[in-house]
């Protein structure tokens, strides 16, 4: 397989505004937008964002060269971001953020004027795919192909109005019912025929992805939906030379799993069982209360341990692992999700031990910096001539997309090393292997 040629001159061309298109202007999107606005005003900090606060070591440790990532590579600045999006509800972003209840009203009032100017366009939506919510702000067309064309028009109008030459789309809407890859997903010709025939295997998120790529806009999938992870849309991304990435933002419980599981495996400690349960009360919890939507999420969350622990290589430690995941809708908790994990492990001579984790997290607070980083890094990838699946962004996803014949990398620390080395490569800096023998011999 040939090595991709990075357009390092293109990577430096970051002039002008960057459009950030968001299907779903609910809790995650409004927390992200309000947060960026607050950070620009100097009343908050971009905690959790690699693009804003992260550093990258260059060269040897003795050289003490550790620039900020945003100084190593050319990224769009927060002042250059322009927001737009779709939602099934008609409220502007200020009212939507109030309804979500994630951020304090005092903070939202500081950026109220800017938030009120962002009103949702009519969304592509069907209760066949998201059963537990509905809203009035929905497009009506004869075919799914017509819906896609309507989305393309929205994108073009947004870019023309704001004088944009670059945009990215980040799916922040709901988890859809479980869909398996089928014939209509085989290639772009079959997919377009399916759009015109209103094929049931084409979900709304796929229509957004198709419209995004057709309009020349990279697409990032923040939900566990199949969406862009199909041959047809991968083909379209390559033909259009556009980056795609996904799936499912890595926020609460799965973030903890990808931190803890690699540590246990590194020490070759066995695991008999890992029981995970969650309660949450936001719109995401309401959607996941539907068994078909939960199945989509369950597949995403269950795959993590199998790929990290590799039971086929370590059968004595992980072959009989019992892994169970539960999600319960509990309205009083709102966006403040709580995830419990009970982990039964064993060590030297088979003696049993336990680990218990109670993570009281704020789902949208953890997701917002992910949206920011993905938008900026994906724009960088496009300018650098990188297209198709961006596996180097696996760091941000529960169920990372990867190339045909590969298995996804779930280990958070390997993912971070891959991301950092990709940034070094784009910046034409030496990659770091952490061998370090030259310090001692």
Backbone angles phi, psi at 183, to 5 degrees: -60, -35
Helix (H, G, I), strand (E, B) or coil at 142: coil
Q: What does the pLDDT read at residue 235?
A: 98
CATH number of 253-360: 3.30.360.10
CA 337 to chain centre: 18
CATH of domain 8-249+364-426: 3.40.50.720
HEC string of 311-358 equals CCCCHHHHCCCEEEEEEEECHHHCCCCEEEEEEEEECHHHCEEEEEEE
- What is the pLDDT, as a whole number, of residue 2? 56
Let me know the angle formed at the C-alpha of 44 by 32 and 50, rounded to the nearest 5 degrees: 60
Q: What is d(CA 83, CA 22) in angstroms, rounded to the nearest whole number?
A: 8
Question: SS3 helix, strand, coil % of the chain, rounded to 5?
Answer: 45, 15, 40
Q: Would you kindly state where each structural domain of the chain is located, as residue ranges?
A: 8-249+364-426, 253-360
What is the per-residue pLDDT for 142? 97
Question: How confident is the prediction for the chain on average, in pLDDT?
Answer: 95
Bridge partner list, 354 = 344
- Identify the pLDDT of residue 1: 45
Could you give the CA distance from residue 421 to residue 246 in angstroms, rounded to a whole number?
A: 19
Interhelix angle 93-100/27-40, nearest 10 degrees? 110
pTM of the prediction? 0.95
Q: Which stretches of the chain score pLDDT less than 70?
A: 1-3
Give the closest residue to 88 by CA, choosing from 130, 33, 141, 125: 125
Summarised one tens digit per residue, pLDDT across range 326-372 is 988 899 888 888 999 999 999 999 999 999 999 999 999 999 999 99
Measured distance CA(132)–CA(356) in Å, rounded: 32
């Amino acid at each position: 397989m040939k090595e991709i040629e990075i357009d390092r001159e293109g990577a430096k061309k970051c002039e002008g505004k960057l459009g950030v298109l968001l299907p779903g202007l609910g809790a995650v999107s409004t927390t992200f937008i309000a947060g960026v606005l607050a950070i620009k005003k100097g009343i908050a900090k971009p905690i959790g964002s690699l693009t804003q606060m992260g550093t990258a070591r260059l060269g040897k440790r003795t050289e003490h060269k550790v620039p900020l990532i945003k100084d190593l590579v050319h990224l769009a600045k927060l002042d250059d971001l322009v927001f737009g999006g779709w939602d099934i509800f008609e409220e502007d972003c200020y009212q939507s953020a109030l309804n979500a209840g994630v951020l304090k009203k005092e903070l939202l009032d500081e950026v109220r004027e800017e938030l009120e100017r962002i009103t949702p366009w009519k969304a592509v939506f069907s209760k066949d795919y998201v059963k537990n919510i509905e809203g009035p702000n929905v497009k009506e067309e004869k075919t799914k192909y017509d819906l896609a064309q309507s989305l393309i028009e929205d994108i073009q109008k947004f870019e023309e109005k704001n004088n944009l030459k670059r945009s990215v789309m980040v799916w922040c809407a709901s988890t859809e019912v479980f869909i398996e890859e089928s014939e209509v997903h085989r290639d772009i010709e079959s997919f377009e025929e399916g759009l015109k025939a209103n094929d049931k295997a084409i979900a709304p998120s796929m229509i957004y992805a198709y419209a995004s790529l057709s309009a020349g806009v990279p697409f990032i999938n923040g939900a566990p939906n199949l969406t862009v992870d199909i041959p047809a849309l991968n083909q379209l991304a390559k033909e259009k030379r556009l980056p795609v990435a996904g799936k499912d933002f890595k926020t609460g419980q799965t973030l903890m799993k990808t931190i803890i599981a690699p540590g246990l495996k590194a020490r070759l400690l066995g695991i008999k069982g890992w029981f995970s349960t969650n309660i949450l009360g936001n719109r995401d919890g309401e959607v996941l209360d539907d068994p078909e939507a939960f199945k989509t999420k369950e597949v995403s969350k269950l795959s993590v341990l199998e790929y990290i622990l590799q039971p086929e290589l370590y059968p004595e430690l992980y072959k009989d692992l019992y892994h169970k995941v539960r999600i319960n809708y509990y309205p009083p908790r709102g966006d403040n999700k709580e995830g419990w994990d009970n982990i039964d492990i064993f060590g030297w001579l088979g003696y049993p031990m336990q680990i218990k984790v109670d993570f009281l997290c704020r789902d949208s607070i953890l997701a917002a910096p992910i949206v920011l980083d993905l938008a900026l890094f994906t724009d960088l990838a496009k300018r650098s001539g990188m297209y198709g699946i961006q596996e180097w962004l696996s760091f941000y996803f529960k169920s990372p997309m990867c190339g045909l014949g590969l298995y996804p990398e779930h280990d958070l620390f390997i993912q971070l090393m891959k991301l950092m080395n990709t940034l070094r490569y784009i910046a034409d800096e030496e990659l770091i292997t952490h061998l370090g023998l030259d310090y001692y011999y």
